[in-house]
Amino acid sequence: MNLELFLLVAAALFGVGLFGALTQQSVVMLMMGLELMLGGVILAAAAVWHHLAPASADGQVLVVVAITVMAVEMAIGFAVVTALFRAREVDMTDQAGDLSA
């Protein structure tokens, strides 16, 4: 497979994630859009890294670290959303923007 195909898939992932992040009102859907965007960036970075240095494993280590950070970020984000929902019955971004009371 060539680099252009991977970059095209990464751009499609990023585009779908950007659309989802900009159009959704639910906090969970917003987080899913952001994760799709990060996945597209990681896929593009891994494809370029493999294209430039195919014998090196540094790119693979970077991808594993980035995916681990994404998983931790999602776990913390869902914990915050769950706590916000339990405390104030809020699940939409415009309601969650007002953090007073």
Query: What band does 57 get if pLDDT is binned at 50, 70 and 90?
Result: confident
Q: For the whole model, what pTM was predicted?
A: 0.81
> Does domain 3-96 bear CATH number 3.10.129.10?
no
Give pLDDT tens digits for 10-39. 999 999 999 999 998 888 888 899 999 999
Give pLDDT tens digits for 72-93. 988 998 898 888 888 877 767 6
Single-letter residue type at 7: L
Sequence spans of domains, the chain: 3-96
Q: DSSP for the chain? A: --HHHHHHHHHHHHHHHHHHHHH--BHHHHHHHHHHHHHHHHHHHHHHHHHH-TT-SHHHHHHHHHHHHHHHHHHHHHHHHHHHHHHH---BHHHHT----
Query: What band does 3 get if pLDDT is binned at 50, 70 and 90?
Result: very high
